[in-house]
Amino acid sequence: MNIKHYTYRVTWSPEDGEHVGLCAEFASLSWLAKAPEAALKGIQKVVSDAVGDMQANGESVPAALADKNYSGEFRVRIPPLVHRNLALMAAEQGVSLNRLASAKLAA
């Protein structure tokens, strides 16, 4: 388990007046600091401590998003009218519904 493979983000928190370090795999954890570099170091330390505690207690540790394999497929349920409108749009553009949906999701 390499905690550096986790997905970290540092952003400004207007409510706190500081930078906040976040980790996507541990959404409930955060670290506030004046400097963005300190926020990143702080959240990495908190995650490291959490992983250590989880391992010591025999709990399963979340896999890093970066280390997961993705098939490129997922299923989305939409209302029939939306499905119809997308199918018409795809036909008018001369592309498959899959290609149209993929382009819209990527935008």
Q: Could you read off the pLDDT tens digit of each residue along the chain, which spans 107 residues?
A: 789 999 999 999 999 999 999 999 999 999 999 999 999 999 999 999 999 999 999 999 999 999 999 999 999 999 999 999 999 999 999 999 999 999 999 99
3-class DSSP state of 84: helix
97 Cβ contact partners less than 8 Å away, ≥ 6 residues apart: 86, 87, 90
Amino acid 2: pLDDT: 87
Distance from C-alpha of 8 to C-alpha of 88, rounded to nearest angstrom? 40
Distance from C-alpha of 68 to C-alpha of 82, rounded to nearest angstrom? 31
Phi then psi dihedrals of residue 57, to 5 deg? -95, 5
In single-letter form, the type of residue at position 97 comes to L
